[in-house]
Amino acid sequence: MSRNINDQRRSKSPLAILQDAQNSQIILRLKDGTEYKGLLKEIDAYMNMILKDATEIMDGSPVAKYSEIFIRGNNLLFIKPDASEIM
């Protein structure tokens, strides 16, 4: 576990990993429990996102579809970066 200065800089990588998830399918959950599944088109440092072809899911059931949707980052609970790999 040899740590150096580069390791220190790597500490912002959770957001970098999200940046890498652009243009792939994701699932995200908001604080109110609503989930969205779709293509992550854009994400910024505040975790504001644009999803394409998104499905809104409440209590496990799809309730709406959106060709494009902007989601405000401050309501975010989690993001599953690769929706195709749900275990």
Residue 72 makes contact with a copy of itself by CB under 8 A: yes
Kindly state the smallest distance separating residue 42's Cβ from a copy of itself, in Å. 5
Cα separation, 35 vs 46, in Å, equals 18
Task: Rule CB under 8 A: say whether 13 interacts with a copy of itself.
Answer: yes
| Residue 39 binds a copy of itself, judged by CB under 8 A | no
- For 4, other C-beta atoms within 10 Å of its C-beta total 7
Nearest-5° angle of CA 19, CA 59, CA 70? 35
Of the residues 2, 5, 12, 59, which one makes contact with a copy of itself according to CB under 8 A: 12
